Amino acid sequence: MSASTTVHLTSEAEATDFTHILGAELRQARRHRRWSRRELRGRLKHHVSLPALASYELGTRQCSVNRFVEICEALETAAPELLARAMRRLDSATHAGGLHIDLRAVIDDDSRKLRAFRRWAEQRLATTMGGDTGVHLAAPAVERLAELCGVTTSDLVNTLTTLGAVQSTASTASTASTASTD
């Protein structure tokens, strides 16, 4: 995992999703080698039962960091790279439905990074009736805004989260409107 990769598992559901995704990455790495679980087990330094390996791959059981690194070494796969792939998949899955954004928080930020987003947010709020500052941005809109801001989607989401601009789905579901950047 690169130094810029940050792990933020904010809920039990997200932690569970990560466990499943990480297991899928382990299974994919094993299958890429065309090994059975039994063959993988034979390459491990310490004994691991076949049901335990299966539960790691299925994401029904978490493995310790030491066990994870041992499995990656046996698979001749760098543990940081496998973790980074899992985090990218989690990030993609987490934000696939888009984000609920408080545009006021975006406007109040004066960083250069969000300048393009800020201009759009100002325009959007100027034409919005009723004083609602929340908006739902579909995943493609979030990706496009990240491009316009010159950052990755993950970086944009992290920045918005840090600003407090990302609203919980439950609190905005009834009031947020749908928007696109086109």
Q: Tens place of pLDDT for every residue, the chain, 182 residues?
A: 444 445 555 567 677 778 888 998 999 899 999 999 999 999 999 999 999 999 999 989 999 999 999 999 999 999 999 998 888 777 766 666 778 888 999 999 998 989 989 998 999 888 877 777 888 888 778 878 888 888 877 778 878 877 878 865 433 333 333 343 33
Helices (H), 37-152: 37-43, 50-58, 65-74, 79-94, 103-108, 115-126, 139-149
Instruction: Express the helix, strand and coil content of the chain in percent, nearest 5 each.
Output: 60, 5, 30
**pTM, 2 dp:** 0.52
C-alpha to C-alpha distance for 48 and 71, rounded to whole angstroms:
10
CA distance 20 to 18: 5
Cα distance between residue 30 and residue 24, in whole Å: 10
Domains of the chain, each with CATH number or no CATH: 12-94 (1.10.260.40), 99-179 (1.10.10)
Token pair 């039962």 in the structure block, residue = 49
